[in-house]
Homo-oligomer: A and B are copies of this chain.
């Protein structure tokens, strides 16, 4: 599931380069995964490749877009106009990829009014109004930890049904709400874990064991030709 967006990006790139047919082998190589996995994944879409040939790029792009619901835009609203909120709003790739920023809100009246990436920061009390008038389904939480739960509750009350949470807290929301979390500290700590293993392994300071590193965890394999 998390791989479909990756395939999609690669396929779009390939289409830009006038490639119109691709094998599972090649796609796997570009995506840094196993070819059998690519075929299994694509088989769930019900879309068919051609045996002996491969998959038609344009058709696959269409199918994946369809499956992911990317046939139309999904406006998002950002809660929190601090460093991160500003960066997200300013990052053009958001709108480009079908997720235009319908609004940014903050609790701090001092932040209201400034313009970020073409969108004016509004007060959080206007959240419901933005969500309703712009038909927003997806909310992004870019507040400090302390404000995240409140932001989530406001988003849910406003009618948002999916949340992307950048705050390092476990949100408590109704189970019908889809939540995804991006936690920078967690990512860095996982890297730190590997660095530490590296260090202790070579010096033999610690005996054995530790948590598993099956093969090459989350690591991208070289994909050059």
Contact = CB atoms under 8 A, between A and B. Distances in A.
Nearest to A138: B191
A217 to B, nearest CB: 8
A88 B195 CA distance: 21
Interface residues of A, number: 78
B5 A138 contact: no
This chain's copy number in the assembly: 2
A187 B220 CA distance: 18
A110 interface: no
A160 to B, nearest CB: 10
Given A87-B86, A170-B6, A187-B182, A69 B192 contact: yes
- Interface secondary structure of A, over-half rule: mixed
B186 A5 contact: yes
Interface stretch (A14-22, A55-63, A94-102, A126-134): A94-102
Interface of A: 1-2, 4-6, 8-10, 30-32, 44, 67-70, 74, 76, 83-84, 86-88, 90-91, 93-94, 97-99, 137-138, 161-164, 168, 170-175, 177-199, 210-212, 216-224
